[in-house]
Amino acid sequence: MSPVWYAAGAGVRRGLTELRQTFTTSQDVFGYVLWTILLVVPMLLVRDDPLKGAGISAGAFMLPSMVGMTLAFTGMMTTAQLLATEREDGTLLRAKAVPHGMVGYLVGKIIMVSGTALVSMALPLVAGVFLVDGVARQGGGAWLTLVWVVPLGLLATLPIGAVIGSVVDSPRTVGLLMLPVMGLVVISGIYFPLSKLPEWLQTIGQIFPVYWLGLGLRSALLPADAVVAEIGASWRHLETVGVLGAWAVAGLLLAPTVLRRMARRESGAAMAERRWKAMQRVG
């Protein structure tokens, strides 16, 4: 076995170990439960409010949209937060010191974040299916849409998170980025149809993957008649593949270069300086 493949295998084992740890840590489990509650409660509040002309409730519209938002958030922000944190605490520097250690490190993070994203999606989805009428009643054909939407969504968002985590100077900066991300959610058709917004906001919302993930999941989980609430009264599968695919290709081309530059800059002196700055803020 080549050294690179051995490092990748070690990364898979590392990712699975980190997943097992996060699912057996009370603080992390509480975070999953809290996130599920935060998503389900708004849906319950509007589950009896009809969405005009769509034949479903506002809660039914929100459920797949929020599941798509969760996938995008986890892929981008969790990846960015982990990279920024582990640059600061020296984990990345230790990985760099091992032959092909960065390969194993990145494979491990992909496994860990992907598993986290799937669980973060599954919990509110399962809860919502039982609590909100009109969702996930379409049979196996529609559910097959999830087979390509979810992996493509991860490919579109994980590299973005890796780029963000490579260029920010601290985990606190990633936290500040949540403010513009939440603004993006508002114009991405998560809480109400994007078709209700002015055309210029519709255009901005359709540039980013959050909207298309929500659209793809709505096409899989909502009745066919619900399509009237969408732009052009169409699920636009080809456009969904095109936009998410474009983000995936751009990210996969850009992320390796940015990660290599970031890894080259890592040193004991740089890590010590970041720790000193962090201690100054705490002090």
Task: Give how many domains the chain has, as a whole number.
Answer: 1
Within a domain: residue 217?
Answer: yes
- For residues 159-168, one letter each, b for 16 or more C-beta atoms within 10 angstroms of the residue's C-beta and e for the rest, the string is bbbbbbbbeb
| Beta bridge pairs of residue 51 | 56
Within a domain: residue 152?
Answer: yes
Within a domain: residue 206?
Answer: yes
Within a domain: residue 280?
Answer: no
Long-range contacts formed by 280-283: CB under 8 A, 24+ apart: 281/172
pLDDT digits (tens, 9 = 90+) for 124-163: 888 888 888 878 766 556 678 888 999 999 999 999 998 8
Whether the Cβ atoms of residue 159 and residue 255 lie closer than 8 Å to each other: yes
Within a domain: residue 168?
Answer: yes
pLDDT digits (tens, 9 = 90+) for 173-210: 887 888 888 888 889 988 889 988 899 999 999 999 99
pTM to 2 decimals? 0.88
Which residues constitute the domain of residue 221?
3-271
Within a domain: residue 253?
Answer: yes
Within a domain: residue 78?
Answer: yes
Q: What is the model's pLDDT at position 49?
A: 87
Q: Is the pLDDT of residue 87 over 90?
A: no
Within a domain: residue 122?
Answer: yes
| CA Rg value for the chain | 20
